[in-house]
A and B are shown apart, each in its own frame.
Chain A
Amino acid sequence: MKKWKGFIVAGVIIILLGQVMFHIYKDPLDYNPESKDYYIEYGLEETSSKNLVTAIYLDYRLFDSFFEASLLLIAVAGIAFMGVKDEDLL
């Protein structure tokens, strides 16, 4: 029974992956211009940033930038914890 369980799980995974691959294969390869058009049309007046990259990372996707910055703090704290071995540091 244990042997068959592995085969069933493998079969289910293969079928699911096949479904995903099939949908990716059917998807036509072209850009979705909706967000691009929106950013170009309203980016400057909504965010007042001349640089569209800054408009996205400091206004439309600000939460993303925030968690990116928090990730850096966690990485530094982790490396300090492992590398320095000082109890008073953190």
Chain B
Amino acid sequence: MRYSKILITVSRIILPFLIMFGLYIIVNGDSSVGGGFQGGVIMSTSYLLYYFITGNHPFSLTKMLKIDKFLFLALPLVICASFVTRAELFTNVFPLDVSYEVRRLYLLVLNLLIGAKVAVGFVSLFYIFIEEGNN
């Protein structure tokens, strides 16, 4: 399907900034507003802009669902790792006496994981809906 030139041009300008904004929100989730869920959704909307520009899908749905499943496996592993280090479930991996910068890493990793999972999930939803609309 061909979209109007205005939409394509505006999408080309916005696309890199949108990806950067999504990454910024995910990475700064523990010190300012935002987090994995919000950043992931912003990242996934950039997929729509990509579709407006090129008119085709960069990934296959099977691959995306596979990535989604692997991320879903990785999430409980990271979450339950604190049971090994602190003998507590569902909390930070590093003990309380470790410095702030190191403990912040755990939040960063979790935010990135959740962001990636939400982004992949929403991209596969967009994929399915676009394909349904085309057929």
Contact = CB atoms under 8 A, between A and B. Distances in A.
Interface of A: 45-51, 53-54, 57-59, 62-63, 65-66, 68-70, 72-73, 75-77, 79-80, 83-84, 88-90
Nearest to B114: A69
B57 interface: no
Contact of B128 (A53, A66, A72, A83): A83
Given A51-B31, A54-B30, A89 B62 contact: yes
Give the interface size class of chain B.
35 or more
Interface string B96-113: 100010011001001100
Given A49-B107, A59-B91, A66 B61 contact: no
Which of A48, A79, A83 has most chain B Cβ within 10 Å?
Answer: A48
Interface in B22-43: 29-33, 35, 37
A54 B35 contact: yes
Contacts of B33: 51, 53
B62 A69 contact: no
Interface stretch (B3-11, B12-20, B45-53, B67-75): B67-75
B35 A53 contact: yes
Contact of B117 (A58, A72, A75): A72
B88 to A, nearest CB: 11
Nearest to A84: B128
Contacts of A59: 90-92, 107
Contacts of A65: 114
Nearest to B110: A58
Contacts of A79: 125, 128
Interface string B62-88: 100100110010011001000000000
Given A69-B114, A73-B72, A83-B132, A48 B103 contact: yes
B69 A57 contact: no
Contacts of A58: 30, 35, 107, 110-111
Given A50-B32, A51-B35, A77-B65, 6 more contacts: A45-B96, A54-B35, A73-B68, A73-B72, A75-B121, A89-B62
